[in-house]
Amino acid sequence: MSARLAPSDLRRVLARLLFVQATLNRRGMQNIGVLHALDAAAAKLSREPLALLSRHNDHFNTNPNAVPIVVGSVLRIEEDGLATAPVPIARFKQAACSALAATGDVLMVGGLKPLALTLAVVSAIYSFSTGLVAIVVLYNAALLAGRAWGLRFGYARGWGIVDAFTGPRVQRVVMLARILAAFAGGAMVAVMARRTFAASWADVALLAAATLAAGIAIKRGLNVARIAIVLFPLVVLVAMLVK
C-alpha cells in the first residue's frame, strides 16, 4: 500500500524538525512542530494523510535534539501499518519521549552545551576569535549531524528505539560528555585564576570570596545575576570611599 520514504523525504522532514521549537506551547508542547514535520511525509505514508496527522495531534514533549529519533520511528511505524502494533502508538510516543528527554537533557544541558560554552569563554578570554568560530562550527556540525542520524536511526528501528536508548552504551556517551565538560570547566577556572593572580593578590582574594558567596547563593536557589545588579552601586560606593 505505502511506498518507502526516499532520502529526500527524510531531508524534508528533518528541515522542518529544525524549527520544532517555534510552536512550543503549554497545552501540546511540540505537537504543532511535529505535525508540521510529519506532514512532509504523510502523503507518501498513507492514503489518508489527514487521518495520520489527526492520530498524532496530541501532547508531545521531549528534548528538541531527540525529536527526530521519535519522529523517525513514528514514520516507520506508520509505514508498516498499525494493525500489528504491540501497544497503542500514543503510549509508545509517551514512553519514547520520556526516556529520550532525560538522556537528551543530561547530554546537551549537562554535557555538550557547558563544554562548548566553557571552551568559548576560555577562547574569548584570550581574544582568540578563530577558536570561537571553530567551537560554534563544530558544535553545530555535531548538532545537525546528530539530528540527521537520529531521524535515520528512528526510521530504521521503529518500535525498537526505547531499548536502544536505555542501554549502557548511551549512558557511557553521556558520561563521556559530562567528563569532557568537567575537564573544560576546570581549565576555565584555572585560566581565570591565573589571570586574576597576574593582576593582583587583592583580586585573587576578591575572586575567591565572590566565588564562595556566589556558590552559597546558587545552592540556596537565589538569582545571582539579580544580586550582581544590586551589588554594582554598593561596590562602586565602597571603592570611592576607599580610594
Which residues ranging from 48 to 87 are in contact with another protein (CB under 8 A)?
49-50, 53-54, 57, 64
> In the range 89-118, which residues lie near another protein by CB under 8 A?
109-110, 113-114, 116-118
Nearest residue (CB) to another protein, 16 versus 76: 16
By CB under 8 A, tell whether 225 contacts another protein.
yes
Q: Alpha helices of the chain — where are they, by DSSP H?
A: 7-17, 31-45, 49-55, 67-80, 89-107, 113-125, 129-157, 161-165, 168-199, 201-219, 224-242
Q: How many CB atoms lie within 10 A of CB 171?
A: 13
**Are the C-beta atoms of residues 105 and 63 closer than 8 Å to each other?**
yes
Give me the least distance between CB of 67 and another protein, in Å please. Answer: 10
Nearest residue (CB) to another protein, 160 versus 215: 215
Q: CB burial class (10 A; 0-12, 13-18, 19+) of residue 199?
A: exposed
Give me the least distance between CB of 35 and another protein, in Å please. Answer: 6
By CB under 8 A, tell whether 47 contacts another protein.
no
User: Pick from 144, 6, 149, 159: which is nearest to 73 by CA?
Assistant: 159
By CB under 8 A, tell whether 229 contacts another protein.
yes
> In the range 114-153, which residues lie near another protein by CB under 8 A?
114, 116-118, 120-121, 124-125, 127, 129, 132, 135-136, 139-140, 143-144, 147
Nearest residue (CB) to another protein, 6 versus 236: 236
Give me the least distance between CB of 32 and another protein, in Å please. Answer: 6
Per CB under 8 A, the list member of 28, 102, 157, 158 interacting with another protein is 28
If phi > 0 it is left, if psi is from -120 to 50 it is alpha, else beta; for residue 221 that is left
- Distance between CA 53 and CA 46 in Å, rounded? 10
Give me the least distance between CB of 236 and another protein, in Å please. Answer: 4
User: For residue 166, what is its C-alpha cell?
Assistant: 536505555
User: For residue 135, what is its C-alpha cell?
Assistant: 567551537
- Distance between CA 166 and CA 24 in Å, rounded? 26
Per CB under 8 A, the list member of 2, 6, 11, 25 interacting with another protein is 25
Q: Which amino acid is at 46?
A: S
> In the range 157-196, which residues lie near another protein by CB under 8 A?
178-179, 181-194, 196
Nearest residue (CB) to another protein, 113 versus 152: 113
First to last CA, the chain: 83
Give me the least distance between CB of 195 and another protein, in Å please. Answer: 10
Give me the least distance between CB of 242 and another protein, in Å please. Answer: 7
Residue with cell string 545571582: 224
By CB under 8 A, tell whether 207 contacts another protein.
yes
Q: Which amino acid is at 124?
A: A
- Distance between CA 105 and CA 94 in Å, rounded? 16
